[in-house]
Amino acid sequence: MELITKAPKGTRDIIPGESEKWALVEDVMAGEAELNGFSEIRTPVFEHTELFERSVGDTTDVVEKQMYTFTDKGGRSITLRPEGTAGAVRAMLENGMYNNGFPIKMYYKTSCYRYEKPQAGRMRELHQFGVEMFGAAEPAADAQVILLGKSIFERLGLGDDVQVAINSIGCPTCRAEYHKALKTYFTAHREELCETCNSRLERNPMRILDCKSPVCGEIAKAAPKILDYLCDDCRAHFEKVQSLLTAVGVEFTVDPGIVRGLDYYTRTVFEFISTRFGYALGGGGRYDGLVEEIGGKPTPALGFGLGFDRIMLALEEFGAEFPDDGKCELYIAAMGETAQVKAFQLVNALHRCGVAADCDLCARGLKAQMKYADKIRAPYTIVLGDNELESGRAELKNMKTGEKKKISIGEDFIDAYLAETTAQEDLSF
């Protein structure tokens, strides 16, 4: 088979069989977020480019190298969202959500787009589950959000694999001193740094800490650490976050190497690292300056994004078991045209009562219809032919036990079917 084209590099289809698993995992995440008072937000897949340039930061890899940006027919610069936070902040402000009091808590399940080199766990169309909280400046909010992420991994059975690593990258006040120290340090290594890092040296030396080049990475190892430059307020905030995490039994490590790849962060940053894969299954932090940057009043905020594609890979790796129930409850096979019409009517009457039922749509013979019923694992079947039509009764077969029971296929069919199948279910308890 030669297709005219395939799915673009770095994208993939989530097909039936897999999509049910994705939906279950999404439900676990959303359920846990809702327990914590978060509600779902849906924002556009594309935004005006400047939203990401201003929030994610124009010296980040995401903005410098990875954005899917194009000019639309109206001449506007548009970008497919590379991440979910900027759009959530814009939407919160544009819809005046702050008028309803703080904290505002929202979650999202979205696809994001980054022009990266695809490999296992790195996609160009990636899927994230994210949460954002606005208006909560207290360290308790940081601990709550980290705990929410950790409990999602526990609910998914990945609790043992996922390590929580945290850091504080301070506020603009302490960061000014830190930038000076970094600049001095990296200037001494200017010759060895890559071209991008040389350009970052003046504008945003902290981004050098995040460079993927092995040479820059090696130099960055001995660079000054932000934790030595925190102001008193940031230090006290970070210590409180740690003591709260300890109080709720969350194990964590403090890793001064975590600086995150996006510019909007302040104070607490964290990552959920998979020990098996060695990469982050999620990450986030506080971004107290972003709401103002986007045009709102100064508002503390924080959140995280979990990498759905990576989490699904991890679940597969750890052999997570997903329920494998068929979707069809009753398959009605039919022989002959009149019986087929009857089957069609009964199936649609069942659908109206919320019963998942199916009948032949492919002009199959009886044997092939029963084979199909078996394939879709229908727990009940009925076969309709001339005899059944004449007598107004047909055999309902329990495919597990082989037990058969004659029921009406007339006006009272639904009642008869429900009475029989509910009774069977009761028996199985």
* Interface positions with ligand HAM (CB under 6 A): 83-85, 114, 116, 121-123, 126, 128, 130, 132, 261-262, 280-285, 303-305, 307, 309-310
Quote the CA–CA distance of 169 and 256 in Å, as a whole number: 8
Q: How far is the CB of 210 from ligand HAM (least distance, A)?
A: 11
Work out how close the CB of 358 gets to ligand HAM at its nearest, in angstroms, rounded to a whole number: 37
Q: Which helix (H) or strand (E) covers residue 309, if one does?
A: helix 308-317
Contact of 26 with 109, CB cutoff 8 Å: yes
Q: Which residues of 34-62 are buried (b: 16+ CB within 10 A; e: fewer)?
A: eeeebeebebeebbebebbbbbbbebbbb
CA-based R_g, the chain, Å: 28
Give the nearest distance from C-beta 215 to ligand HAM in angstroms: 23
What length does the chain have? 429
Nearer to ligand HAM, 229 or 308 (CB): 308
Q: Count CA atoms within 13 Å of residue 304 on its CB side.
A: 28
Burial class (CB in 10 A: 0-12, 13-18, 19+), 157: middle
> Cβ 216 to ligand HAM, closest distance in Å?
19
Q: How far is the CB of 269 from ligand HAM (least distance, A)?
A: 9
Smallest gap from residue 140 Cβ to ligand HAM (A) = 17
Is 84 or 379 the residue whose CB approaches ligand HAM more closely? 84
Cβ proximity to ligand HAM: between 103 and 307 the closer is: 307
| Shorter beta-carbon distance to ligand HAM: residue 83 or 360 | 83
Nearer to ligand HAM, 57 or 84 (CB): 84
The residue assigned the tokens 């982050």 is 280
What is the residue-wise DSSP string for 300-353?
-EEEEEEEHHHHHHHHHHTT-------S-SEEEEE-SHHHHHHHHHHHHHHHHT
What's the CA gap between 190 and 197, in Å, rounded? 9
In the complex with ligand HAM, the residue whose CB is nearer, 205 or 305, is 305
* Closest CA relative to residue 376, chosen from 320, 428, 324, 418: 324
Residue 285 or 379: the one with the smaller Cβ distance to ligand HAM is 285
Q: Taking CB positions, which residue lies at the least distance from ligand HAM?
A: 307
Could you tell me the smallest distance in angstroms from the CB atom of residue 292 to ligand HAM? Answer: 16
Rounded to whole angstroms, the Cα distance separating 263 from 56 reads 5
Cα 221 from chain centre = 32
User: What is the smallest separation between the CB atom of 287 and ligand HAM, expressed in angstroms?
Assistant: 6
Nearer to ligand HAM, 55 or 381 (CB): 55
The conformational region for residue 57 under phi > 0 = left, psi -120 to 50 = alpha, else beta, is left
